[in-house]
Homo-oligomer: A and B are copies of this chain.
Amino acid sequence: MLDDLKLHYEIERFNTRYAAALDAQRLTEWADMFTDDAFYLVTSRENADRGLPVGLIYCEGRAMIRDRAFALHNTAMFAPRYLRHIIGNLSVERGQEIRATANYAVFQVLFDRPDATVHQLGVYRDVFLRTDQGLKLRERRCVYDNLLVPNALCLPV
């Protein structure tokens, strides 16, 4: 059980670093948390439930992940905002692979309205790989509950 606890703690710390990188728009640091051949998907709960492989964001490989992040970053400049992740309900399974899920709430403050609202709500479905540089994401599927994501802007989450 202690080994499970330690792994749980490691992944919790990973998710905290991941969220901090995105919230501070440190996008290179964010992209480096994926393996070279990583799969990154942001898709709706409806599509995920039906097994549809489409998504708001669909990236195969870290190069594509990095490109996407910076393309969005440049776009996002036109509607600047603060983002803040709260990640909870972490669950980790150790088998041949390290699989994990966690619920996330991303709140946003747009610069033209004073209050904070829910930007996106969902679950991470992950596969982690232990590498020479520590844990990396080989797969992260972000499945969101919102029917429409506010502002139709597909920021990484």
Contacts and interface: CB of A to CB of B under 8 A. Distances in A.
B107 A118 contact: yes
Given A87-B88, A89-B16, A103-B84, A114 B9 contact: no
Contact of A6 (B5, B116, B145): B5
B88 A116 contact: no
Nearest to A5: B9
A99 interface: no
A78 interface: no
Interface in A13-47: 13, 15-17, 19-20, 45
A150 to B, nearest CB: 6
A63 B38 CA distance: 46
A90 interface: yes
Contacts of A122: 84
Interface of A: 1-2, 4-6, 8-9, 13, 15-17, 19-20, 45, 82, 84-91, 101, 103, 105, 107, 109, 111, 113-118, 120-123, 145-148, 150
